[in-house]
Chains A and B, each alone.
Chain A
Amino acid sequence: AQTVTQSQPEMSVQEAETVTLSCTYDTSESNYYLFWYKQPPSRQMILVIRQEAYKQQNATENRFSVNFQKAAKSFSLKISDSQLGDTAMYFCAFMSGETGNQFYFGTGTSLTVIP
């Protein structure tokens, strides 16, 4: 089975500053997808950003970008110009492109944006 590790249970950042959330994963596959999901206090899971492993270019979505290091099996999320609405749990997830459509999630990082 694949494993996804988020080693930072909690983080905080000042409003308007930049923060990076870490994620590592373990797989022997070469074709897979990586994701960051956000879960605000409303409990709704929201897809933030997605990266295909075969793409060398790092994905970006407005203030959110990733640093994908395939050899190191690292997939960090950078949030620029942090806003109060970014306060949430953030989950890193992995999906195999070779052995079916199961998703594997990390244990999450609780991010607090401080005014």
Chain B
Amino acid sequence: DAGITQSPRHKVTETGTPVTLRCHQTENHRYMYWYRQDPGHGLRLIHYSYGVKDTDKGEVSDGYSVSRSKTEDFLLTLESATSSQTSVYFCAIAEGPTYNEQFFGPGTRLTVL
């Protein structure tokens, strides 16, 4: 499972509140990713990181920010949650000589009421 954990695994929150999801890995992987999964859309990339303090936007980054102050932790923050951000969020890492093998965490189900 590439040593990836996500917390919390489930969260219910209200519109307008800040939310932070944590991805933790134990194997010193350089690349880390945050995706959201919605019916009919598959997985869509929110943000990714290619090293400590090195991050970049994905295709659905609006309303989300990320931080990576340590190799092992990649945080996803919803500054002011909206109902459209109700989704399942997956963290992933990439490994291999050209970082083309991606492995996923167990996912976090977030409900914004």
Contacts and interface: CB of A to CB of B under 8 A. Distances in A.
Interface of A: 1, 4, 6, 33, 35, 43-45, 47, 50, 52, 91, 93, 95, 97, 100-108
Interface in B71-98: 88, 90, 92, 94, 98
B42 A47 contact: no
A99 to B, nearest CB: 12
Contact of A47 (B58, B90, B103): B103
Interface residues of B, number: 27
B107 A47 contact: no
Nearest to B102: A103
B50 interface: yes
Contacts, number: 55
Contacts of B40: 107
Given A35-B102, A95-B102, 12 more contacts: A43-B106, A43-B107, A45-B90, A47-B101, A50-B100, A100-B56, A101-B48, A101-B94, A103-B45, A105-B42, A106-B42, A108-B42
A43 B102 contact: no
A9 B56 CA distance: 31
Contacts of A101: 31, 48, 50, 94, 99-100
Contacts of B56: 100
Nearest to A1: B59
